[in-house]
Structure 1
Amino acid sequence: MSAPALPKVVVFLHGGDYDRVHQGLSIAAAATASGRRAEVYLFWWALERFLKGSLDEPDFEGRDDISERFESRGMPTLRALLEHLKESGLCTLAGCTGSLGALGAESETARSGIELWLGWSAILQRTAGVTDRFYL
């Protein structure tokens, strides 16, 4: 008899500030490190950050001290966290089609690294009953 599957973790990323996106990807990375599936849903400004590819340089507006400390301590960039999540095979990165349309960025999807595009009906179906949800 196999052990029951661990419940998945869902992260809804709306804000595109570096710290918010970093926190969301860190939550997903912690989940996958413990063998749990994670789903990260990107909306509005978080989605825009991925579409623009702004995943490498920490940009804490007005907080150069944090940026320097972040780099000197070897904290992973957003891209490094994303690569870890993809390598785990336990994380799905999804973009909201409504947010994509609102941003007018349909032509930018190819290089985003987003593997699944969904509207709210599908998102609600996929996340129904999930208790470990994080909104950032």
Structure 2
Amino acid sequence: MSRCVSAPDNRVVVFLHSGEYDRVHQGLSIAAAAVAAGRRAEVYLFWWALERFLMDRLDEPDFTGREDICDRFESRRMPTIRALLEHVRETGLGTLAGCTGSLGALGGEPKAGDSGIDLWLGWSAILQRTAGVTDRFYL
């Protein structure tokens, strides 16, 4: 008797809640590594991470109280959040999604194209889209 075995879901999913620069940078670094390896990457933005994107604070590293890290980022020419996001987008393998509940809590309304966000979803849709994905990162 032959059994049909489905291939494992090869996507990488990153859930970003914190808007701190280091966490958002790390999440997009994970997504950039995934797409560089030919895998699909989905980045979901909640609360303060979503706010960072809506406020377009993607270029300047801001490590509160750690100016030495900011200087090191610049001297080593480390990519900004925006540069990482552009890499993910250029491959065609990345999706940036915003949470409608978080947007509502922040006082906004979902609009197509807000800060480059590809789609707006609530938790029911997010859970459906990410079901079966084993490579999940929460930051």
Query: In which range does the TM-score fall when normalised by the shorter chain?
Result: over 0.9
CA distance in 1 between counterparts of 2:22 and 2:70 reads 10
Aligned structure 1 segments of 4 or more residues deviating by more than 3 angstroms: 107-111
Instruction: Flag structure 2 segments of 5+ consecutive residues without an equivalent.
Output: 1-6
Matches of 1:75 and 1:51, distance apart in 2? 23
| Percent of residue pairs bearing the same amino acid type | 78
Q: Which residue number in structure 2 is paired with residue 44 of structure 1?
A: 47
Q: Which whole-Å deviations, capped at 9, do the CAs of 1:21-74 have from their partners, x for residues lacking one?
A: 000000000000000000000000000000000000000000000000011000
RMSD: 1.5
Counterparts of 2:112 and 2:106 in 1: how far apart (Å)?
12
Q: 2:119 aligns with which of 116, 121, 132?
A: 116
Look up the match of 1:76: 79
Find the partner of 1:23 among 26, 37, 54: 26
Structure 2 vs 1, CA of residues 72 and 109 (structure 1 numbering), >3 Å: closer, same or farther? farther
Distance in 1, matches of 2:110 and 2:42, equals: 24
Alignment of 1:98 with 2:101, yes or no, is yes
Alignment TM-score, normalising by the size of structure 1:
0.93
Distance in 2 between the 1:5 and 1:34 partners?
16
TM-score (norm 2): 0.91
Are the aligned partners of 1:6 and 1:36 in contact in 2 as well (CA < 8 Å)? no
